[in-house]
Chain A
């Protein structure tokens, strides 16, 4: 029930948590975390990938967490960093989508709108010295063109044809993703998905916070398709030869 008949009935529908007076109430470090999210544009669409692990420090605590969410019919958002914060972002976007439905004007939320909205939320929170501890990729189809954007806990935002966050920004982005993208030739959807799978496998070998179980989402003119969690074949035969890290 409402608080009383005199209260203003139109309440803000996406309340922003306020930073308290006390500095100790702020997030100083993430608790349950997700690692890399990878994204690449292809001919006629865009694909992003993320594994399904929620790490509790170095413990592989939650092994089947989706770090992606669909917004409208042409956008998908993937997030690394604090999983609880990402869930809040997911809920905000869900509310945003429902609010947009109220207009029933046949206009769907587009990826650029989602991207800008997220930069505002994240920048606002960092300005309150209470950031949402995430790096987020926004992928979708913007007026028929593939769209891929990045934003993080500082509110920094940019677009690229290949993007990665977390450990993937070091391991996958330069040598693997850019090498393909910088050739200047558009790649096919299958090639993009295969490339993401390859990158995830490399990350699985090298990133101790990763998991060989992941989701790949593709957005094309037909809409959003988020795959069921899947795994790749891996071979640890070489592991016995590695020395110096025991």
Chain B
């Protein structure tokens, strides 16, 4: 990287002559090196899916999660440093709790996005701080406003999204997401698609084994954030595996045609 050795990348307090803050870009790299996390916003809610790498065969299943409950109606998925993600989730929980204590109703996710983006930004301002090594996806559903989804980057920049992918395989995942008619699909359908995208973008030759994590907040879950029920999880996972097999069959067929 051109910045290395120039001395402009040692702290977030220093701009490079080109007007960049390299530490923030390195933090973004930490996100891009992580395993994939996606979120899809359908017509009746938001679905999260994460490809959780299994670092050791001795790990217990479901102990490393990357999608967290913030409030009854808000879920948060993180991609990048898991420890940074957990601490951001705790920060978000304290905002949501404080809002509820103060105003007596659930925190709008747009407000949480604003506050959390501010927190991310604050970590890019001080020499003694390090930017957050994770991006987060915020998803919520309420009957009045419907589904909402935001993504916050390590720089503190955030946007609202219909569909978003983070991590190592975000490019192919984005391509898959863009094929979906998100605003016409229900979360029941999207859970399957999300699982399929995680499986389809996973490279068996390069990537380590993974455990699929699926969570949602939607009309079907009564507007409550939760991991999808066991039955639906299995259904989505087998749908993903079946469509993988179909794809590979097609590839085999086309090979034969070429001969």
Contacts and interface: CB of A to CB of B under 8 A. Distances in A.
Nearest to B89: A102
Contacts of B115: 1
A2 interface: yes
B71 interface: yes
B20 interface: no
A1 B119 contact: yes
B176 interface: no
B129 interface: yes
B94 A13 contact: yes
Say whether chain A's binding surface is mostly helix, strand, loop, or mixed: loop
B126 to A, nearest CB: 6
Contacts of B227: 104
A130 to B, nearest CB: 19
B112 interface: no
B87 A2 contact: no
A196 to B, nearest CB: 29
Interface of A: 1-2, 5, 9-11, 13, 91, 94-95, 98, 101-102, 104
Interface in B106-159: 115, 118-119, 122-123, 125-126, 128-129
A98 B71 contact: yes
A91 B118 CA distance: 27
A95 B123 contact: no
A94 B100 contact: yes
A13 B118 CA distance: 21
Contacts of A104: 65, 69, 226-227
A91 to B, nearest CB: 7
Interface string B79-100: 0000000010011011001001
Contact of B123 (A5, A11, A98): A5
Interface of B: 65, 68-69, 71-72, 87, 90-91, 93-94, 97, 100-101, 115, 118-119, 122-123, 125-126, 128-129, 226-227
Given A9-B87, A13-B94, A2 B101 contact: no
Contact of A95 (B101, B122, B226): B101
A8 to B, nearest CB: 10
28 contacts: A1-B115, A1-B118, A1-B119, A2-B91, A2-B119, A2-B122, A5-B122, A5-B128, A5-B129, A9-B87, A9-B91, A9-B94, A13-B93, A13-B94, A13-B97, A91-B100, A91-B101, A95-B97, A95-B101, A98-B71, A98-B72, A98-B97, A98-B100, A101-B72, A102-B69, A102-B93, A104-B65, A104-B227
A1 B97 contact: no
Contacts, number: 42
B112 to A, nearest CB: 12
Contact of A10 (B65, B68, B72, B90): B90
Nearest to B72: A98
Nearest to B88: A9
Contacts of B101: 91, 95
Contacts of A2: 91, 119, 122
A10 B97 contact: no
B118 to A, nearest CB: 5
**Would you list the 5 A-B pairs with minimal beta carbon distance, nearest first?**
A13-B97, A102-B69, A5-B129, A101-B69, A9-B91
Contacts of A101: 69, 72
Given A1-B119, A1-B122, 11 more contacts: A1-B115, A1-B118, A2-B91, A5-B126, A9-B87, A10-B90, A10-B94, A13-B93, A98-B97, A102-B69, A104-B65
A89 B122 CA distance: 35
